[in-house]
Amino acid sequence: MGTKIDPSTLQLKDQVVSINRVTKVVKGGKNLSFSALVVVGDENGTVGFGNGKAKEVPQAIRKAVESAKKNLIKITMKGTSIPHLVVGRFGSGKVLLKPATEGTGVIAGGPVRAVIQSVGIQNVLTKSLGSANPHNVVKATIDGLKQLRDAEGVARLRGKSVEEIMQR
């Protein structure tokens, strides 16, 4: 979990989640700039997000992509879905991520869909609860994905076999 992922070894695709026009009121008038939120992923279990701010939209997106490449994380997946139900939280934003059977597709709204597709998850049910702010929703989704664990990892952590963990 704590290891750095080298972005140069991956085929990363970026997806713009939101672009915001921001103004700063100064003595001489208003300074206009643009803020961009971007998600990058290799569609094979790796994802990252970043913010960028510049006078022009393309520069803001470029800065956001560079920022996103610096904080990539690896996600645990089970086939084309996720291993278990999880709720990610950030600020007042909550995102429910639920595994789905093959053929369900990605049932998700804007910012959550961008993150899920960048990771490469193809079958999942999601619900965004609380905040509708794209920044909080993206961070809550990433938090939920970070919480995912596979059966082998949990068994190793508890010092038991996978069969003992899977019994219910």
The 3 state secondary structure assigned to the chain is: CCCCCCHHHCCCEEEEEEEEEEEEEECCEEEEEEEEEEEEECCCCEEEEEEEEECCHHHHHHHHHHHHHHCCEECCCECCECCCCEEEEECCEEEEEEECCCCCCEECCHHHHHHHHHHCCCCEEEEEEECCCHHHHHHHHHHHHHCCCCHHHHHHHHCCCHHHHHCC
Q: What is the pLDDT of residue 168?
A: 58
Band (165; pLDDT cuts 50, 70, 90): confident
**Full-model pTM:** 0.89
* pLDDT greater than 90 at residue 2: no
Arithmetic mean of pLDDT, 84-88: 94
* pLDDT greater than 70 at residue 129: yes
Average predicted confidence (pLDDT) for the chain: 90
Arithmetic mean of pLDDT, 118-143: 93
* pLDDT greater than 60 at residue 1: no
Arithmetic mean of pLDDT, 56-64: 96
* pLDDT greater than 80 at residue 96: yes
Arithmetic mean of pLDDT, 3-19: 86
Arithmetic mean of pLDDT, 34-49: 94
Arithmetic mean of pLDDT, 34-47: 94
Arithmetic mean of pLDDT, 68-83: 90
Q: What is the pLDDT of residue 6?
A: 79
Q: What is the pLDDT of residue 57?
A: 96
